[in-house]
Amino acid sequence: MPSYTAPIKDMQFVLHDLLNVAADSTPGYSDLDAEFTGAVLEEAGKVASEVLSPLNVVGDTEGCVLENGVVRTPTGFKEAFEEIKQGGWPGIDLPEEFGGQNMPYIMYTAVGETASAANQAFTMYQGLTHGAASAILVHGSDDQKATYLPKMTSCEWTGTMNLTEPHCGTDLGLMRTKAEPQGDGSYKLTGQKIFISSGEHDMADNIIHLVLAKIPGGPEGIKGVSLFIVPKFMVNDDGSLGARNGVSCGAIEEKMGIHGNSTCVMNYEEATGYLLGEEHKGMRAMFTMMNEARIGVGMQGLAQAEVAYQNALIYAKDRLQGRAVTGDENPDGPADPLIVHPDIRRSLMDQKSFVEGGRAFLFWGSKLIDQSHRGGDEAAEGLVSLLTPVIKGFLTDQGYDMTVLAQQIYGGHGYIEEWGMSQFTRDARIAMIYEGANGVQALDLVGRKLAADGGKPIMAFFDMIKSFIKENEGNEALKADFLDPLKEASKHLQASGMYFMQNGMKNPNAALSGSYDFMHLFGHVCLGLMWAQMAKAAMTALEGGASDTSFYKTKIATGRYYMARRLPATAMHLARIETGAETVMALEADQF
């Protein structure tokens, strides 16, 4: 059975050596000294390893079962959910007034990575609740907050997000679910929603559904969509639970992975709902949560890559097969461990340099969220809006690829379910799809974010890179291995942006044909920047006499790998982008 150990040392390195959180002026950050974050992560890691990880295979094997309208979660999930609740984990970053611990979002991300790596399907129950609670927190009335948030912060009640319908996913303007006003401030919702994660289950007393629907007579399309709170059980004025509402689970989907999470078809039959936010402003209300939700999915991609890598590494050190080409390294054994082989190293280094670089990127994005939400920093808000589709799209695409690499190290043992490597791949696959399929992320990036606010955020991003290179250009240890490749990759990103600007106006397809490559090019530049900064941080630590020299030297070596072996992808993406739409759009639909 696979195992998981929270990479606390790596996380601490990112929080403190790289991002220096405790010295940051963002409200709440001064509490985040190394001792405090270490203690939180230690405890979170323990829960992940001891409670969540052992249930990962159980969840995959048993799945969820729907019987007579009730969904039974896999053996042990209920008890584990109790432990999570008692530990106060679900509300770690939610306001104290509703029972949360009010930690910064960056801590929610770090803790979330450990939980998600250990058991993605399980962690989604609290993840969806967190998303729904955040929406109520921002858009809810005082009454709504008082009614729902305390119970959702503790996960006594869980939450869901209902967007997709059978005929519409990305294009929510086609939505058919209707909300009829009842004259008393409430609405009756009727329609069908699909792919509702955690839509029905047996781990909470109540489930608070956030549902997008159209109020008859409102504007056509996406502009006529409103957001509603639809509780599974009505909530009485005294907070006790009342009658069952007109919402039920019609089916649960058989899926490629995340079997432990119930993906439900939800039927609304004159279900009572309450408007959340303003009429017809449902999409805006959803969008406020979008950056966080998408960063959360990027985190999932990274988390599966991390746990898959950990297990690939164990196997690569353990499995004896073949001999090192440069001479036996385990002469007393029947063969050398897999890790002696260069191609196994290539695979492990791909994985290692991605998860460590990706984590830095993810935590940096989370810090920007805090700077924006807690610190009111508009530049941070602009930058994280720009980076969000990259964090989501790049980390989930590459994260998935890394689980495939990790699985490959097991050979045939990676393909059978016994070793658990297949599950990491199957679970990781969903993150490329939900919360906006990655093609939609690329479209959002190129079609919307790049030109947002007159291009200020992207300019700020390039300025960051330029400043970093300039500040360190005298640093010989950084120059050839880090600064030069970063400069080169950054030029490719700029050239792509330039290509879009020069061609996108007269032919939008010329820009959109390169959107996916651009998202990946951007992701590589971000990880290149992270690695250059981490290398500098590691060098600084070594110069400062840090005792664990091996740890910091390993960081630098891993960064050098990324710069030398992964970053060259940027030139390829640029070459593809610069071919424009011509070959992409050459065929008529019936020529396919």
Catalytic residues: 435
One of 385, 425, 472, 490 touching a second copy (CB under 8 A): 425
- Told to check if 464 binds a second copy by CB under 8 A, we report no
Kindly state the smallest distance separating residue 437's Cβ from a second copy, in Å. Answer: 5
User: What is the distance in angstroms between the CA of the first residue and the CA of the last residue of the chain?
Assistant: 45
Kindly state the smallest distance separating residue 400's Cβ from a second copy, in Å. Answer: 8
- Binding to a second copy in span 9-38, by CB under 8 A: none
- Told to check if 352 binds a second copy by CB under 8 A, we report yes
Span of 185-193, 206-214, 286-294, 556-564 interacting with a second copy by CB under 8 A: 556-564
Quick one: 122 or 157, whose CB is closer to a second copy? 122
Residue 316: how many other CB atoms lie within 10 Å = 21
One of 274, 500, 516, 522 touching a second copy (CB under 8 A): 516
CA angle 425, 428, 430 (to 5 degrees): 120
Non-local CB neighbours of 544 within 8 Å, separated by 6+ positions:
none
Span of 37-45, 62-70, 169-177, 472-480 interacting with a second copy by CB under 8 A: 169-177
559's enclosing H/E stretch is helix 549-561
108's enclosing H/E stretch is helix 105-118
- Binding to a second copy in span 559-578, by CB under 8 A: 560-561, 564-565, 568-569, 571-572, 575-576
Residue 280: how many other CB atoms lie within 10 Å = 17
Non-local CB neighbours of 129 within 8 Å, separated by 6+ positions:
90, 152, 155, 157, 158, 159, 198
- Told to check if 392 binds a second copy by CB under 8 A, we report no
Number of residues that bind a second copy (CB under 8 A): 96
Q: Is 536 left (phi over 0), alpha (psi -120 to 50) or beta?
A: alpha
What is the pairing mode between strands 206-214 and 157-162?
parallel
User: Distance between CA atoms of 369 and 372, rounded to whole angstroms?
Assistant: 5
One of 38, 169, 181, 455 touching a second copy (CB under 8 A): 169
DSSP state of 320: B
Kindly state the smallest distance separating residue 93's Cβ from a second copy, in Å. Answer: 28
Kindly state the smallest distance separating residue 194's Cβ from a second copy, in Å. Answer: 8
- Told to check if 195 binds a second copy by CB under 8 A, we report yes
User: Distance between CA atoms of 195 and 373, rounded to whole angstroms?
Assistant: 30
Q: What are phi and psi of 235, to 5 degrees?
A: -110, 120
- Told to check if 5 binds a second copy by CB under 8 A, we report no
Q: Are 336 and 330 in contact (CB under 8 A)?
A: yes
Quick one: 176 or 244, whose CB is closer to a second copy? 176
- Binding to a second copy in span 228-287, by CB under 8 A: 253-257, 263
Span of 123-131, 133-141, 387-395, 412-420 interacting with a second copy by CB under 8 A: 412-420
Kindly state the smallest distance separating residue 504's Cβ from a second copy, in Å. Answer: 10
- Told to check if 429 binds a second copy by CB under 8 A, we report yes
- Told to check if 434 binds a second copy by CB under 8 A, we report yes
